[in-house]
Amino acid sequence: MTTGAELRRRAVHASGVGFPALYMLNIVDWQALRYLLLLAASVAAVLEAIRLLVGLNWQVYETLTREYERDNVAGYALYMFSMTAVAWVPAFDPPVAVAGMLMLTIGDPVSGLLGSNEAGRAKRAGVIAAMFVVCVSLGVLALAGSVSLPLAVAAAMVGGAGATVADGFTPVVRGYVLDDNLTIPPAACVGIWLVLRVLG
């Protein structure tokens, strides 16, 4: 059952779509979006430093963090770091980075509403399938204007598969949960980039 706190967390998560939307709607250019993301990631880093090092625990963290994040860098910060990272990787053209961002900001909360998974365990097959379909659709949306439709579909399928794997299984490395907020965008973008480089 999805709790009220979880619904609020998913809503905050989905609101991040505003970043790539600014670029897709031609409200800002790519360079401006990259600096905006850098600013947001810096703010998140400062907030996390205050929370973890000083111990200040504002009420908003009840919405933004889960229990296992209390003593680790929280998912919302990893979310911003990951989106900022793919935006600044020189090899990723804007449509590639935007596709990865959309898979995180829309695909992940949709998947989360359908079914969550405990760290170290995979999600149900139906949730994984839904995540894949959503991510492929978002990938095609982001790529279609820059490459042919067949190439966009092929790249979106590989990128969507990467995002789905990152979302569907959250590994624990030396006691640290490798949050999908950190892994979805790079997994998606690397897959898309590889297809475009080989077939483009």
Which residue's structure tokens are 């909360």?
A: 109
Rounded Cα distance, 96 and 87, in Å: 9
Report how far residue 159's alpha carbon sits from residue 29's, in angstroms, rounded to the nearest whole number.
Answer: 24
Structural domain of 192? 4-199
Q: How confident is the model at residue 89 (pLDDT cuts 50, 70, 90)?
A: very high
Tell me the per-residue pLDDT of 126-138, one tens digit each, with 9 for 90 and over.
Answer: 888 999 999 999 9
State how far the Cα of 164 lies from the Cα of 145, in Å rounded to an integer: 23
- 84-93 mean pLDDT: 97
Residue 67 tokens, joined: 């229990």
Structurally, the chain folds into a number of domains equal to 1
Q: Show the 3-state SS of 32-55.
A: HHHHHHHHHHHHHHHHHHHHHHHC
Mean pLDDT throughout 65-75?
69
**97, 23 contact by CB (below 8 A):** no
pTM of the complete model: 0.87
